[in-house]
Amino acid sequence: MKGQDAQAPATPALKMLIVLGGIAMLSGFLVVLVDQLTKPIIEANQQRAIERAVFKVVPGATLRRNYLVTPEGVHPAGDVGSGNGITVYGGYDDQGRLKGIAVNGAGMGYAGLVYLLYGYDPDCACIRRFEVLKMTETPGLGDKIISDAGFQANFIGPDGLSARLNGAGTALENAILTVKHGSKQHPWEIDAISGATITSKAVGKALNQSAQNLLPLLAPHLEQLKRIDIAPAESPTNGKGE
Amino acid sequence: MGMNKSDDVTWDSFAEGLWRENPVFVMLLGMCPVLAVTNSAINALAMGLATTFVLMASGLLISLMRHLIPKQVRIAAFIVIIATFVTVVDYSIQAISLDLYNALGAFIQLIVVNCIILGRAEAYASKRRPALALISALGMGAGFTFALLCLGVVREILGAGALFGFDLFGANFEPWVVMVLPPGGFIILGAWLLLFDWRKHRTQLRSLQEERGRAG
Amino acid sequence: MKKKAQLELRTSPHAHAGQDVVQIMRNVVWATVPIAGFAVWQYGLSVLALLLTAVLSCLLSERLFNRLGLEPSTLGDWSASITGILLALTLPPGFPLWMTAVAGIIAIAMGKALFGGLGMNPLNPALVGRAFVQAAFPVAITTWTPSLFNGRFTSFIPTTLTAPFQRPPAITEWVQGVAVDSFAGATPLALMKFEHAATPVTDLILGATAGSTGESALVILVCGLYLAFRRMLDWRIPVSIMAATAFLSWAYQLIEPTAPGPLFMLCSGGLMLGAWFMASDMVGSPVTPLGVVIYGLLIGFITVAVRLFGGLNEGVMYAILLGNAATPLIDQWTQPRVFGADGRRKQA
């Protein structure tokens, strides 16, 4: 075949087009087929991942509702973020009572952005838990923010981490601040991990920035989120919150 | 065309890729995933299997179409075929486990630029019978997976004190953080290359001495 | 028994300074003895064990690689001992001994044997070992202990005797028990960087601060000067490193008055040890007089840049390793003109 190619006139362009077109069509068919087959499974996986994180940061929650928070108001939303506004996840217990609101945040750490999901408890106006979604901090140092009991104690205590709005409702009364290890004095301060100060500060920055943006918008509409009606089919065990 | 080698399916058509022409330890191809995703054994295994699947599927299809594809557009055709199977793998892993998908990151999509696959398509699959192409791709994939596992096992044991996620040394083990970071990949790859090369060197030396002994 | 003088026929050079490698290496070992001794007085038994472990692991790995490479033993040239001593001096006093052994093995294996032994290593072996354990055990290598604590000659720092592959115990309580006054647990450089707290320079000069084993600026300076006067090291290297460090920190202090001053920068951290005993390593430093100065300035510059602007609070180790890596390039740039040749530099 090599010999033929060298002497015979060049392959006609039409043949090339047909072959490439044929291969492209075959490829397209395969990709669409696999996409159709896997799409429902992938979506279910993603929902489960979000749900797992939301239920972790909102203790007691068994149901989830998504909301889009904009300066105009708060609206129910789908799983895919729709442009302008902040997507938050309301966590409800099986009676439909609001247990807390899970919100995304991100702050610059030692080796890149630290992405968090944190749970805001409207009853005590505080942050009760946070979960790291993604980070590239040094294993053994920066990733202590997940495992260090002392650091977690900043949030887990009876009053959580204070995130109270000021009287006018325009910003936090006291900005959330990460302080040096061992010098926490106020409920809005985060006691840093010694040896992982930069990552601890990233958590503080992420929480503060996100809370400052979100809470003034969210506060006036909190009442409308307090309760939801549960459809009979929506049992807590298999509820998807959609 | 390509008549220097036997066209029969032999044990060697499989074993060649596994050992004598191992894509990682002998040909030093596909270094990007080798260094990037071998921080744990499970990631290494998943990456190896994904690459093996793409190698076999694209090898088979290219071998089947080897008389159809005009020489001038063969690279374009190969890449489209390879990209298709990479997309298939990408979706499948997302469906199997999101955690695994996040751990492997962009390296699943980057299988498409892994030079082992295009290299084997061009040098082997496009010139052989489908059965041969398939067996050889399986061998190459097995060799690649073996190499990734070599790195992944050592890096996970030292870097996390675990193997395939199972704790080996108890809670008090001090992990060697560097092993799960990029430098660990380079160090362990270097160590394996050193070991294999040293072994090869020693075997050669011994056979040389034996020859001399017989001659003298 | 000495052999009778033989007629020696060989190519130039015929005249030499009468120094050989073994002699220089032996003198460097002597020069580090006071530094090591001072460290033992400061931290007691733990540092003694640290020094012995580091030297022993270096010597054993050197012997092992000699055997694997089918070469005669090179233990007699003292170079592995120096690597061990310098390595121990850069580690925290309470560094677990098993990690010290890992550092020693890596220092010889990756820093030296891999490149073909003494004279072939592009990087300082002791610093290669330290860089590895810094990346591998980030917590242990930043766990500092107070100096001159009570009972240091009768008991070990708790972390020293950690069993192999195990995590060192937390020492916060132990530190509170033995520390004379409040002990911050951070080095002067870390205090300066993260809390803008200055440490008195007298403490720095005597090394009475939290830090690596060999950080007493005064003792190191004296020992280094001894070597320089014996012509066992190139005085231009430490002097240019110190000059660059001092000048840059002085200049930056003019812009930013809260920044640390030149004296603090010179006396804190590993700068003195690095400048006098590590950067001056003959293998890793340039050979031309101009090249040596460029090399020193580069190291000083990187050190100050890391300390002032980097995420880390100490940058001497990386500065010297980068300087080592740049050495071949510096040597190539600064080749003197061949006598009689025209043009600036003729490549063969």
Domain ranges of chain A: 13-42, 51-225
pLDDT, position A9: 57
For residues B10-14, average pLDDT: 85
- Cα dihedral across residues C1, C3, C5, C10: positive or negative: negative
Residue A122 CA to residue A54 CA, distance in Å, equals 15
SS (H, E, C) chain A: CHHHHHHCCCCCHHHHHHHHHHHHHHHHHHHHHHHHHHHHHHHHHHHHHHHHHHHHHCCCCCEEEEEEEECCEEEECCCCCCCCCEEEEEEECCCCEEEEEEEEEEEECCCCEEEEEEEEECCCCEEEEEEEEECCCCCCCCCHHHHCHHHHHHHHCCCCEECCECCCCCCECCCCEEECCCCCCCCCEEECCCCCHHHHHHHHHHHHHHHHHHHHHHHHHHHHHCECCCCCCCCCCCCCCC
Residue A212 CA to residue A169 CA, distance in Å, equals 10
SS (H, E, C) chain C: CCCCCCCCCCCCCCCCCCCCHHHHHHHHHHHHHHHHHHHHHHHCHHHHHHHHHHHHHHHHHHHHHHHHCCCCCCHHHCHHHHHHHHHHHHCCCCCCHHHHHHHHHHHHHHHCHHHCCCCCCCCCHHHHHHHHHHHHCCCHHHCCCCCCCCCCCCCCCCCCCCCCCECCCCCHHHHHHHCCCCCCCCCHHHHHHHHCCCCCHHHHHHCCCCCCCCCCHHHHHHHHHHHHHCCCCCCHHHHHHHHHHHHHHHHHHHHCCCCCCHHHHHHCCCHHHHHHHHCCCCCCCCCCHHHHHHHHHHHHHHHHHHHHHCCCCCCHHHHHHHHHHHHHHHHHHCCCCCCCCCCCCCCC
**Residues B26, B20 contacting (CB under 8 angstroms):** yes
**Could C166 and B173 be called an inter-chain contact, meaning their C-beta atoms sit closer than 8 Å?**
yes
For residues A62-86, average pLDDT: 77
In total, the C-beta contacts within 8 angstroms joining chain A to chain B are: 68
Residue C43 CA to residue A215 CA, distance in Å, equals 53
Which of A11, A27, A39, A115 to mutate to probe the B interface, most B CBs <10 Å?
Answer: A27
pLDDT, position B4: 45
List chains adjacent to chain C, taking adjacency as at least 3 C-beta pairs closer than 8 Å.
A, B
Which of B158, B167, B169, B174 to mutate to probe the C interface, most C CBs <10 Å?
Answer: B174
In C, residues 100-159, which contact B (CB 8 Å cutoff)? 110, 132, 135-138, 140
User: What separation in angstroms does the CA of A47 have from each of A44, A51, A69, A96?
Assistant: 5, 6, 20, 19
**Could A180 and C195 be called an inter-chain contact, meaning their C-beta atoms sit closer than 8 Å?**
yes
**Residues A23, B121 contacting (CB under 8 angstroms):** no
| pLDDT band per the 50, 70, 90 thresholds, residue A241 | very low
In B, residues 176-195, which contact C (CB 8 Å cutoff)? 176-179, 181, 183, 187
| Percentage, residues of chain A above pLDDT 70 | 88
C-chain CB neighbours of A138 within 8 Å are 138
Of B169, B173, B174, the CB nearest to C137: B174
pLDDT one-digit tens code per residue, A94-138? 888 888 899 888 888 887 888 889 999 888 888 888 888 877 777
Residue C335 CA to residue C344 CA, distance in Å, equals 9
Decide if B73 touches C, using CB distance below 8 A. no
pLDDT one-digit tens code per residue, B17-58? 888 889 999 889 888 889 988 988 999 999 999 999 999 999
* Nearest alpha carbon to residue C219 among C204, C229, C209, C236: C204
pLDDT, position A93: 87
Choice between A231 and C172, residue whose per-residue pLDDT is larger? C172
**Could B88 and A31 be called an inter-chain contact, meaning their C-beta atoms sit closer than 8 Å?**
yes
Of B65, B87, B180, the CB nearest to A31: B87
In A, residues 126-145, which contact B (CB 8 Å cutoff)? 134, 138-140
Decide if A115 touches C, using CB distance below 8 A. no
B-chain CB neighbours of C138 within 8 Å are 177
Which range (A139-153, A162-176, C146-160) has the least confidence?
A139-153
In total, the C-beta contacts within 8 angstroms joining chain B to chain C are: 28
**Residues A132, A146 contacting (CB under 8 angstroms):** yes
- Reported as type and span, the H/E element at residue B197 is helix B182-215
pLDDT, position A233: 55
ipTM confidence score: 0.83
| pLDDT band per the 50, 70, 90 thresholds, residue A242 | very low
Of A180, A195, A197, the CB nearest to C139: A195
Residue C10 CA to residue C309 CA, distance in Å, equals 54
B-chain CB neighbours of A140 within 8 Å are 175, 177
A-chain CB neighbours of B81 within 8 Å are 23, 27
In angstroms, what separates the C-alpha of B189 from chain A's closest C-alpha?
21
Structure tokens at A116: 């968090």
Each residue's pLDDT expressed in tens, for chain C with a length of 348 residues: 455 556 666 777 666 666 778 888 999 999 999 999 999 998 889 999 999 999 999 999 999 999 887 788 888 888 999 999 999 999 999 999 999 999 999 999 999 998 988 888 999 999 999 999 998 998 889 888 888 888 888 888 888 888 888 888 888 778 877 766 666 677 888 877 776 777 788 888 777 788 888 888 889 999 999 999 988 889 999 999 999 999 999 999 999 888 888 888 888 888 999 999 999 988 889 999 999 999 999 999 999 999 888 777 888 999 999 999 999 999 999 888 777 776 555 454
Residue in C closest to A109 by C-alpha: C311
**Could A34 and B92 be called an inter-chain contact, meaning their C-beta atoms sit closer than 8 Å?**
yes
pLDDT, position C7: 66
Q: Which long-range contacts (CB under 8 A, 24 or more apart) does C183-190 make?
A: C183/C146, C183/C210, C184/C210, C185/A194, C185/C144, C185/C210, C186/C144, C186/C210, C187/C144, C187/C211, C187/C268, C187/C269, C187/C313, C187/C314, C188/C264, C188/C268, C188/C269, C189/C268, C189/C269, C189/C307, C189/C313, C189/C314, C190/C313
pLDDT, position A1: 45
Decide if A46 touches B, using CB distance below 8 A. yes
pLDDT, position A234: 54
Please, what is the angle between helix B115-123 and helix B41-64, to 10°? Answer: 30
B-chain CB neighbours of C162 within 8 Å are 174
pLDDT, position C344: 55
pLDDT one-digit tens code per residue, B73-128? 899 999 999 999 999 999 999 999 888 888 887 788 889 888 899 999 999 999 99
pLDDT, position A4: 47
B-chain CB neighbours of A34 within 8 Å are 87-88, 91-92
N residues, chain B = 216
User: What separation in angstroms does the CA of B183 have from each of B73, C131, C141?
Assistant: 40, 11, 18
pLDDT, position C182: 61
Of C137, C138, C311, the CB nearest to A198: C311
The chain C residues in contact with chain A (CB within 8 A) are 137-139, 142, 185, 194-195, 311
Question: Around Cβ A48, how many Cβ atoms within 10 Å?
Answer: 12
pLDDT, position C1: 46
**Could C138 and A138 be called an inter-chain contact, meaning their C-beta atoms sit closer than 8 Å?**
yes
Helix, strand or coil, per DSSP, at residue B84: helix
